[in-house]
Amino acid sequence: MSNITISLDDDILKKAKKIAIDKDTSFSGLIREYIKGLVDQEERGRLLMIEELDSLFAHSNARIGRKTWTRDELHER
Protein backbone atom coordinates (compact mmCIF):
# COMPACT_ATOMS: atom_id res chain seq x y z
CA MET A 1 0.00 0.00 0.00
CA SER A 2 1.33 3.44 -0.91
CA ASN A 3 1.41 6.49 1.32
CA ILE A 4 0.39 9.96 0.18
CA THR A 5 0.69 13.39 1.72
CA ILE A 6 -2.09 15.97 1.51
CA SER A 7 -2.54 19.46 2.88
CA LEU A 8 -5.78 20.41 4.59
CA ASP A 9 -6.98 23.37 6.57
CA ASP A 10 -6.72 22.62 10.29
CA ASP A 11 -10.45 23.12 10.79
CA ILE A 12 -11.34 20.67 8.01
CA LEU A 13 -8.87 18.09 9.34
CA LYS A 14 -10.28 18.38 12.86
CA LYS A 15 -13.86 17.91 11.61
CA ALA A 16 -12.84 14.98 9.39
CA LYS A 17 -11.11 13.26 12.33
CA LYS A 18 -14.32 13.63 14.37
CA ILE A 19 -16.28 12.02 11.53
CA ALA A 20 -13.77 9.16 11.43
CA ILE A 21 -14.18 8.61 15.17
CA ASP A 22 -17.98 8.56 14.79
CA LYS A 23 -17.60 5.93 12.06
CA ASP A 24 -15.21 3.88 14.22
CA THR A 25 -12.31 4.22 11.79
CA SER A 26 -9.14 6.24 11.35
CA PHE A 27 -8.75 9.35 9.24
CA SER A 28 -6.74 7.26 6.76
CA GLY A 29 -9.47 4.62 6.73
CA LEU A 30 -12.08 7.31 6.07
CA ILE A 31 -10.10 8.65 3.10
CA ARG A 32 -9.31 5.13 1.83
CA GLU A 33 -13.02 4.16 1.85
CA TYR A 34 -14.03 7.40 0.14
CA ILE A 35 -11.47 6.96 -2.65
CA LYS A 36 -12.39 3.28 -3.06
CA GLY A 37 -16.08 4.23 -3.35
CA LEU A 38 -15.26 6.89 -5.92
CA VAL A 39 -13.23 4.45 -8.03
CA ASP A 40 -15.93 1.75 -7.76
CA GLN A 41 -18.61 4.23 -8.84
CA GLU A 42 -16.57 5.28 -11.89
CA GLU A 43 -15.94 1.64 -12.81
CA ARG A 44 -19.66 0.79 -12.55
CA GLY A 45 -20.44 3.77 -14.78
CA ARG A 46 -17.95 2.62 -17.42
CA LEU A 47 -19.27 -0.94 -17.34
CA LEU A 48 -22.85 0.29 -17.67
CA MET A 49 -21.88 2.46 -20.63
CA ILE A 50 -20.19 -0.51 -22.33
CA GLU A 51 -23.26 -2.69 -21.73
CA GLU A 52 -25.54 -0.02 -23.18
CA LEU A 53 -23.35 0.39 -26.26
CA ASP A 54 -23.18 -3.39 -26.77
CA SER A 55 -26.98 -3.55 -26.56
CA LEU A 56 -27.34 -0.67 -28.99
CA PHE A 57 -24.99 -2.31 -31.49
CA ALA A 58 -26.72 -5.69 -31.10
CA HIS A 59 -30.19 -4.25 -31.77
CA SER A 60 -29.24 -1.72 -34.44
CA ASN A 61 -30.60 -2.04 -37.96
CA ALA A 62 -27.76 0.00 -39.40
CA ARG A 63 -25.86 -1.62 -42.24
CA ILE A 64 -22.53 -0.63 -43.67
CA GLY A 65 -22.31 -0.74 -47.44
CA ARG A 66 -19.40 -0.95 -49.81
CA LYS A 67 -16.79 1.78 -49.71
CA THR A 68 -17.36 3.94 -52.81
CA TRP A 69 -14.80 6.64 -52.08
CA THR A 70 -11.06 6.97 -51.78
CA ARG A 71 -9.06 8.64 -49.07
CA ASP A 72 -7.94 11.31 -51.55
CA GLU A 73 -11.55 12.09 -52.47
CA LEU A 74 -12.40 12.60 -48.82
CA HIS A 75 -9.56 15.06 -48.38
CA GLU A 76 -10.00 17.04 -51.60
CA ARG A 77 -10.26 20.76 -51.01
Return the domain boundaries, the chain: 26-59
Mean pLDDT of 26-47: 97
For helices 10-22 and 27-59, the axis angle rounded to 10 degrees is: 80
- DSSP per residue, the chain: ---------HHHHHHHHHHHHHTTS-HHHHHHHHHHHHHHHHHHHHHHHHHHHHHHHHH-----------HHHHT--
Residue 77 pLDDT > 80, yes or no? no
More confident site: 77 or 41: 41
**pTM for the model:** 0.66
pLDDT number for residue 64: 84
- Rounded CA gap, 75 and 77, in Å? 6
Region 13-19 average pLDDT: 97
The pLDDT of residue 67 is: 87
At residue 62, the pLDDT reads 84
